[in-house]
Amino acid sequence: MIPGKTIPPEANMELILIRHGSTLWNEERRIQGLSDINLSDTGLDQARHLALSLKDHPISSIYSSPLIRARKTAEIINQYHQVPLYLSTDLTEMNHGDFEGLSIPELMARNKDFLRKWLADPASVSMPHGESFLDVQTRAWKVIEGIFPKGENVIVVAHNFTIASILCRIQNIPLTEFRSVCVDPASKTIIRFHHGSAYLELFNDRAYLNGNQR
């Protein structure tokens, strides 16, 4: 059980957090952020397997980032459910500003000093011409707060930093420790809410990609 200080006592629902399938930039280890990169062939295949693993799960609605990699993943999942699909810019990935498009090695080589500052205080240090991690958490949590009163089982399709920020809020984890809740492409994380408490039932699961559905 997770002590959910920010969870209303009337919250009784299941939240399934999905990170979009892989893109070429994921595979090239490039910073995507708000760059609107489509799913790769691998990502499309991942999304289809993910959708199949969720086809019998009772779902009332799906919320998604409007970026095409997330939206396409959500649409593939929804082929089995045909429920309302809501797009929200509050679920987009962190705006990485000047770092968009850089490879991870390029980022590390050129910006070590900045990255040290950001990792030490991601809540208040913003990416150059971009956002802070707290900015991401603030907007993403507005979506989750809007879901709680409905009491419905919901899928949220979003991005690595967006999902990590939500999990930090649910589990009362400082943003400086966000790496403990980062998730992989095409993964699912399931949280059950009951009377103001949260139960993490599944984290960063991709077993279905190997034909081992749980």
Catalytic (active-site) positions: 20, 93
Supply φ then ψ for residue 65, to 5 degrees. -60, 145
**How far is it, in rounded angstroms, from Cα 127 to Cα 200?**
30
Residue 204 burial by CB count (10 A; 0-12/13-18/19+): exposed, middle or buried? middle
Which residues are known binding-site members for substrate?
19-26, 69
Supply φ then ψ for residue 161, to 5 degrees. -70, -35
Q: What is the DSSP letter of 72?
A: H
Which residues are known binding-site members?
19-26, 69
